[in-house]
Chains A and B, each alone.
Chain A
Amino acid sequence: MRRLVTDTLIIAERNLVRLPRSPDLLLAFTVQPIMFLLLFRYVFGGAIDTGGIPYVEFLVPGIVVQNIAFGGFVTALGLNEDVHKGLIDRFRSLPMARPAVLGGRTLADVATNLLSMTVLIVTGLAIGFAFHASALDIVGGMALLLGFGYAFSWVFALVGLLVSSPESANSIGFIAIFPLTFISSAFVPVSSMPPVLQAFAKVNPFTIVVDAMRALWIGTPSGNYVWEAVLWSLAILAVFAPLAVARYRRATIG
């Protein structure tokens, strides 16, 4: 168990050390979220009726959740690259804790997600967003967001190990992320969608997490969203972490 912790931290460190050295990655974690935020706020925002809530306040809790989904993406790409370059073989031939390579990778995602989230909140505050919540709720929202992101990183870890190339990781990622994040309450009220999409959006975990974030950050009615979001995060983690670790044990250069 001590081995698992130290090895996980070593791998997390490895994944974070590279960040300042890859300007493209750093852009993906900072400039890209800002771009999305500005686009929605100023291009689409005026046309979206959010029923009395200023769009920027509606948008920020949604866009931080969407961004979390992109954060895990780097895990899928990075793991796939590790498999192809033989680095996974080296790790598997070392006397290290088996789940540490994935655990370290997903842990590093928490740090990058924290970075993106901070960038988004600061930009959001600069363009008119304001929290309507207690400090405890604000921090609770951040924790919920990072927890959900952590669980979702394990989904991407599995994707990265399953697909044959970084290109297919890329396309599978986009095919999954766009419907999940756009057919949700992240950018528009679900009630404005056609019935079929509404049905999907209502059960979509992204909707539940976004609604939980809004409840915590801008004080919209909370219902059971927060607990449901926590449960979703735990369920995703419970299903995908073992699947990814099992897959890792068998991963080969392919």
Chain B
Amino acid sequence: MLDAEQAITVRGLVKSYGEVRALAGVDLDVARGTVLGLLGPNGAGKTTVVRVLTTLLKPDAGTATVAGLDVVRDAAQLRQRIGLAGQYAAVDENLTGLENLTMVGRLYGASRRVAKRRGEELLVRFDLVQAGGRPTKTYSGGLRRRLDLAAALVANPPVLFLDEPTTGLDPRSRLSLWETIEGLVADGTTVLLTTQYLDEADRLADSITVIDHGLVIAQGTSDELKDRVGGERLEIRLDDPADAEAAVRALAPMADDLPKAQGVIVGAGVHRRNGVIVEAVRRLSDEGVGVDDITLRRPTLDDVFLALTGHAAEETEDRDEAAA
């Protein structure tokens, strides 16, 4: 049965590229009017999920419904109801901003006049009025992404897919794009957003699904995921990375989990605040480990990611995302 509250339902999605298994059985649920952050390193399968859900790719197995429509059987109808903005800002460089939006509107079936009027509205809404008359090859990265996003919204789609919308943007453009996305969600649009930036998921997503190697490895709100890592994070910066092993040994008795070392940083989950720093310093100095800095903080999604996957989100080897 169709669940009217669900904008996206995915069950057992499998997709392979030859030998490479990009999706190994993914389940997802996105309630209407919410934002799902699909989080994972390069090559985890995020883009493949988006490509299947936007009818660009047929899954090998499993089912997916978007806005009540099956992504394979009802593909043609579904295309009327989704918007896609990708990591490659897909605008025609030789057309102006307005011409791009007008073309997309006409391809949705609107007349030239209606499409142009809609394009002008979107230029105003996305603060692109000044740039709207220039060919987009003269645009900065941030302007181009805004136009790409505007193009995805031409038909007012109830479900919007954003594939790494801020990858490669400077911090200011990033922030402005976030604000735009928040505005869309406030208007009731359902958004599925892929990102490898944890702060982006933390800020925009109502719920987060972490995928790695084509499998969902965790699901929940940002707070729920952080709780899974434990109460507090103790983080020590060593004088000498060669001491990492000794530091892990020294801290193990007081930590919730096995402390993890990455270069000069050693991190561990602890449950209490009182006396933790004093105890850590004492234990480390007993082992003869030199400490440069020591902090105690709430876990971030980075910690979650490290705990779940055994590697950091942004430092994984660049596998072929294009294939994934």
Residues of A that sit less than 8 Å from B by CB: 3, 6-7, 10, 14, 17-18, 21-22, 84-87, 89-96, 252-254
Contact = CB atoms under 8 A, between A and B. Distances in A.
B281 interface: no
Given A252-B51, A252-B56, A253-B88, A96 B94 contact: no
A93 B54 CA distance: 6
Contacts of A86: 86-90
B91 A87 contact: yes
B106 A21 contact: no
Interface string B80-103: 101010111111111100010001
Given A252-B56, A254-B322, A94 B79 contact: yes
B88 A85 contact: yes
List the 6 shortest-distance A-B pairs measured between CB atoms, nearest first: A86-B88, A18-B94, A86-B90, A95-B79, A90-B90, A96-B107
B135 A10 contact: no
A253 B323 CA distance: 8
Contacts of B86: 86, 89-90
Contacts of A10: 103, 106-107
B107 A91 contact: yes
A145 B54 CA distance: 40
B151 A17 contact: no
A20 to B, nearest CB: 10
Name the prevailing secondary structure of the A interface residues: helix
A98 to B, nearest CB: 9
A89 B322 CA distance: 13
Interface in B67-89: 76-77, 79-80, 82, 84, 86-89
9 contacts: A14-B95, A22-B94, A86-B88, A89-B86, A89-B88, A92-B55, A93-B54, A253-B88, A254-B322
A89 B107 contact: no
Given A10-B103, A92-B56, A94-B79, A87 B92 contact: yes
Contacts, number: 71
Interface of B: 51, 54-57, 76-77, 79-80, 82, 84, 86-95, 99, 103-104, 106-109, 135, 151, 322-323
B91 A18 contact: no
B160 to A, nearest CB: 11
Contact of A253 (B76, B107, B322): B322
Contacts of A87: 90-92
A210 to B, nearest CB: 33
A94 B51 CA distance: 13
B80 A95 contact: yes
B55 A90 contact: no
Contact of B90 (A7, A85, A252): A85
Contacts of B77: 95
A6 B111 CA distance: 10
B43 to A, nearest CB: 14
Which of B87, B88, B94, B107 has the most chain A CB atoms inside 10 A of its CB?
B107
Contacts of B107: 7, 10, 91, 94-96
Given A91-B107, A93-B84, 18 more contacts: A3-B109, A7-B107, A14-B92, A17-B95, A17-B99, A18-B92, A18-B94, A18-B95, A21-B94, A22-B94, A86-B89, A87-B90, A89-B86, A93-B56, A93-B79, A95-B79, A252-B51, A252-B56
Contacts of A7: 107
Which of A18, A90, A95 has the most chain B CB atoms inside 10 A of its CB?
A90
Contacts of B51: 89, 252
Contact of B76 (A6, A89, A95): A95
Nearest to A82: B92
Contacts of B91: 87
Which of A10, A17, A84, A95 has the most chain B CB atoms inside 10 A of its CB?
A95
Contacts of A85: 88, 90, 93
A93 B55 contact: yes
A241 to B, nearest CB: 21
Given A3-B109, A10-B103, A89 B56 contact: yes
Which of A3, A94, A252 has the most chain B CB atoms inside 10 A of its CB?
A94
B263 to A, nearest CB: 34
Nearest to A20: B94
Contacts of A252: 51, 56-57
A93 B82 contact: yes
